[in-house]
Structures are given as structure tokens and as C-alpha cells.
Amino acid sequence: MIKDIKILSVIITITILLYIYTFSFDEVPEILAQGMQPTMMPRLIFTLIVFLSLFQIYQNKNLIEEKKEIIKSNAFITFGFILFIILIADKLGFFLTILIFTFVTPLLWQRKDKFFVLLYSIGMTLFVFVFFTLVLQLKFPQGILEDFIVRNFY
């Protein structure tokens, strides 16, 4: 297989789809557009991306795809867990989310010392709470702990 053909094909496909999408933009009267319709710049960019991607494929035509390092299952598990954490962060609240994340992830990454992991997790959460919420006064989603935090810290 030609080197980089997969990623460049994905880029070309997405670019073409986005190019087609620009036809759904409203047309603006020439007097308002002043020589530059809102579609002009994106279309110019997409054309160049497709041209350069095809040029790269042409340049690589005699190069064979090198074997890439396999994405380990750990990366997929971490990604899945991060996605889950981000989706529940709003409802659960940032502090519980951070507590869970910083406890579970080191274990997923083969840390065996659960006690130290727990200490780290509590320490990290407390740091975020004290520094960002109490010192910098940043308001994060507090989720199910909202009543407790509002009653005791504001």
C-alpha cells in the first residue's frame, strides 16, 4: 500500500464533504460581499488541501507504508474512559470526576500501589479544589456535590 494513503484519503474525503457543505451557505448580494463571498476562503483552502494531498500521494507512489506501532489496547481503554469521564463530568461534577479519573487511570496504566494511587488521587482533587475554586474563584460544574460545596465554601 502507498505510504500515507489511508490518512490522506480520509483528509480528501472530509475536505470534499466540507466543500459540498459550503453550497448550503446563504448567497450574499455582491454589494455586501464586496468581492469576497463567505464561501470563497473555505473553498480556496479545501481546493489547496485536496491538491496537496494528491500531490503527496503522487510523491509517495513508490514508497511503501511502513509498519506503524500498533495502538495498544491501553490507548483505546484510556480514550474510552476519558470520553466517559468527559460525558459524565457535567452531571457528576468536576471534583468527583477528577477523583475517579486520577484513581482509575494509574491503575489502568499498570500501577499496582493502590494506596499511593489513592493518596495521589485525593491530593490532586484537593489541589484543584483549593487552587482553582477557592483561590482563583473558578466555578466548575459541581454536580451532585453542589449543595455541599455551596453550603460550606461560598
> Which residues are at the interface with other proteins (CB under 8 A)?
4, 6-7, 11, 18, 21-22, 25-26, 28, 32-38, 41-42, 45-46, 48-49, 52-53, 55-56, 59, 68-69, 71-72, 74-75, 77-79, 82-83, 86, 89-90, 94, 97-98, 101-102, 105-106, 109-111, 117, 120, 124, 128, 132, 136, 138-141
Nearest distance from C-beta of residue 147 to other proteins, angstroms: 20
d(CA 17, CA 6): 17
**Torsion sign over Cα 149, 152, 153, 154:** positive
Nearest distance from C-beta of residue 32 to other proteins, angstroms: 6
Residue whose CB is less far from other proteins, 21 or 153: 21
Q: What phi and psi, each to the nearest 5 degrees, are found at residue 11?
A: -60, -45
Nearest distance from C-beta of residue 13 to other proteins, angstroms: 14
101: nearest Cα among 87, 113, 112 = 87
Which DSSP category does 75 fall into?
H
**Torsion sign over Cα 116, 118, 119, 123:** positive
